Amino acid sequence: MPEIKLKIKVFGDPVLRKIAKPVGRITDEHRQILKQMAETMYDDSGIGLAAPQVGISAQLIVLDIGEGLYKLVNPKIVKRQGKQSISEGCLSVPGVCVKVKRAKRVWVQAKDENGCLIEIEAQDLFACVLQHEIDHLKGKLIIDYASFLQKLRIKRKLAILRTKVKSCKLLF
């Protein structure tokens, strides 16, 4: 597969609202996509990126909170515990932060890029990023967690982002 620069899709692009397709057999093409996703994430100073954010409908995510790169295929949260509330940003909703309530600790099952089953127990920021990226695979964005007042505060920013993508309606 030729090396191409992936472009991050921003709020208003319909691809961000679609449910990503599960990956069957992991191929060299999937491994190449994961590699390019990681490069894109690092280039944009992110700590997580899901395939739908670069226009690819596949259950693939990459993340690195400073402790090493994870490349996950078909990640699923199998257990949640505790609560935390963190102000989150998103590469697909630039300039917007939303306080999101999530589980403090999660257990995730996935496959690595070689098809081996892995289990991850994560807490705090790591748990937050896993939940955030898995949300993207379900077509869910941080703005979906915003309170009414938060939505009023970010409405203008979202309208500006939306004007860059003409084919989507404002969601609230």
pLDDT at 150: 85
Nearest to 145 by CA among 102, 104, 83, 95: 102
Query: Is 7 contained in some domain?
Result: no
Domain housing 19: 14-163
Query: Is 68 contained in some domain?
Result: yes
Query: Is 72 contained in some domain?
Result: yes
CA distance 123 to 119: 13
Q: How far is CA 153 from CA 23, 92, 95, 169, in A?
A: 38, 18, 12, 18
Overall number of domains in the chain? 1
pLDDT at 117: 98
Tell me whether residue 113 is one of the annotated catalytic residues: no
For the entire predicted model, the pTM comes to 0.89
pLDDT at 172: 30
pLDDT at 170: 35
CATH number of the domain enclosing 119: 3.90.45.10
Query: Is 6 contained in some domain?
Result: no
Which of 3, 88, 121, 133 is catalytic? The answer is 133
> What tokens were used for 125?
């920021």
pLDDT at 31: 97
> What tokens were used for 105?
């600790």
Query: Is 99 contained in some domain?
Result: yes
Reported as half-sphere exposure (CB side, CA atoms, 13 A), residue 59 has a value of 19
100-150 per-position pLDDT tens digit: 999 999 999 999 999 999 999 999 999 999 999 999 999 999 999 998 888
pLDDT at 65: 97
50-76 per-position pLDDT tens digit: 999 999 999 999 999 999 999 999 999
- Owner of token pair 């994870």: 70
